[in-house]
């Protein structure tokens, strides 16, 4: 089988290896598609490092081709599946309280991290969820990013009747828009790129506002919410201004969710008295629990969230470098790798 290895920043190598054989309690999955997430982009450009050489990739779909004799679940050869590749120990306080996204052992040394830029992958039964054959495998590769948005909306306590501001209309911002709409939320999205705002409206956002002039933006948003402000705001862009502006349009008691990660460690640009007087709730959202992942899989399987318009390009595995460059270009939404020739 062929796998794509990142051996140092900006250096991808395609290696031919033996296809692994699953042990009794494992499965072998033939990978169909894998999305190129922000994490893979940061690993590629060297902004983040896990270990070298590493096979990147964590947004994967595929087909089960072998099932170990001691696998307890009902998954069988031929099933279409999506992979949940985070490591969860199932026994630490975070895992036991339903927050396995924060598993304290998830980065423990010696474990494989990522690994789906490959034609085959051995996984544990709890790392696969079966999807219906009708769900195209390229769209199924969004199960992981969508699950992160679902967690984020849960952390923001967004629900039917609420108005939510999604700050940033990149792939993750627009996936938030889609998930929020499916939950009955009124969605206002903001960005500084007109084409992305147009795309947000085409995808069903209730309002798409240009954030270039922050005063105009704040005034417009206040009038859209009868002066009250939004129930919650989700930050999907690493611009610090976005948080500053969000604090000005958050309704009393509102929740501000820092969804994005940052390359550095910026300080919250909100004065503490404003937080105190308005009872603002400030949270972050990191990854997804298995509960969020399962919700995502069901929403995609039921057609309640449709993501075909977020697939910008699909590259074959041997063009992985071009694919990552395209993802980094800023001109695309999700770029996928297709493993099969």
Residues near Zn ion (CB under 5 A): 37, 59, 89, 92, 95, 103, 144-145
Closest CB 214 distance from Zn ion, rounded Å? 30
Closest CB 141 distance from Zn ion, rounded Å? 10
Residue 143 or 211: the one with the smaller Cβ distance to Zn ion is 143
User: Smallest Cα–Cα separation from 102: which of 294, 297, 290, 281?
Assistant: 290
The number of beta carbons lying within 10 Å of the beta carbon of residue 65 is 15
Closest CB 274 distance from Zn ion, rounded Å? 33
Residue 26 or 144: the one with the smaller Cβ distance to Zn ion is 144
Q: For residue 51, give both structure tokens.
A: 């270990």
Closest CB 236 distance from Zn ion, rounded Å? 13
Residue 126 or 244: the one with the smaller Cβ distance to Zn ion is 126
Residue 144 or 191: the one with the smaller Cβ distance to Zn ion is 144
Cross-sheet strand order for the sheet of 186-191:
207-210, 186-191, 163-167, 230-235, 250-258, 281-284
User: How are beta strands 27-35 and 334-338 bridged, if at all?
Assistant: antiparallel
Q: For residue 114, give both structure tokens.
A: 């990522």
Closest CB 287 distance from Zn ion, rounded Å? 9
Helices (H), the chain: 38-45, 93-96, 137-140, 143-155, 171-182, 194-202, 214-224, 240-249, 272-278, 290-301, 320-328
The number of beta carbons lying within 10 Å of the beta carbon of residue 315 is 19
Residue 27 or 95: the one with the smaller Cβ distance to Zn ion is 95
Closest CB 41 distance from Zn ion, rounded Å? 10
Residue 150 or 209: the one with the smaller Cβ distance to Zn ion is 150
């Amino acid at each position: 089988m062929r796998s794509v290895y990142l051996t140092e920043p900006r250096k991808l190598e395609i290696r031919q290896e033996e296809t692994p054989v699953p042990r009794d309690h494992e499965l072998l999955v033939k990978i169909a598609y894998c999305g190129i997430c922000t994490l893979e982009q940061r690993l590629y450009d060297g902004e983040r490092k896990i270990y070298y050489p590493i096979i990147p990739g964590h947004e994967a779909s595929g087909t089960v081709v072998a099932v170990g004799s001691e696998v307890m679940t009902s998954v069988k050869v031929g099933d279409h599946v999506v992979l949940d590749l985070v490591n969860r120990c199932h026994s630490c306080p975070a895992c036991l309280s339903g927050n396995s996204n924060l598993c304290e052992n998830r980065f423990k040394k010696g474990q494989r991290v990522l690994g789906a830029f490959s034609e085959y992958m051995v996984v544990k039964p709890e790392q696969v969820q079966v999807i219906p054959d009708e769900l195209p495998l390229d769209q199924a590769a969004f199960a992981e990013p969508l699950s992160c948005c679902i967690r984020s909306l849960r952390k923001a306590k967004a629900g039917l009747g609420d108005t939510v501001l999604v700050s940033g209309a990149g792939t993750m911002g627009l996936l938030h828009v889609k998930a929020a709409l499916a939950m009955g939320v009124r969605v206002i999205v903001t960005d500084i790129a007109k084409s992305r705002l147009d795309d947000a409206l085409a995808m069903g956002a209730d309002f798409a506002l240009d954030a270039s002039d922050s005063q105009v933006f704040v005034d417009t948003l206040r009038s859209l919410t009868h002066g009250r402000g939004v129930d919650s705001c989700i930050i999907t862009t690493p611009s610090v201004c976005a948080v500053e502006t969000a604090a000005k349009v958050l309704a009393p008691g509102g929740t501000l969710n820092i969804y994005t990660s940052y390359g550095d460690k910026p300080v919250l640009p909100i004065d503490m008295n404003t937080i105190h007087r308005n009872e603002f709730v400030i949270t972050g959202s990191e990854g997804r629990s298995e509960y969020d992942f399962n919700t995502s899989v069901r929403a995609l399987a039921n057609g309640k969230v449709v993501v075909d318009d977020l697939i910008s390009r699909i590259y074959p595995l041997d063009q992985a470098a071009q694919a990552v460059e395209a993802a980094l270009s800023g001109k695309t939404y999700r770029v996928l790798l297709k493993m099969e020739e």
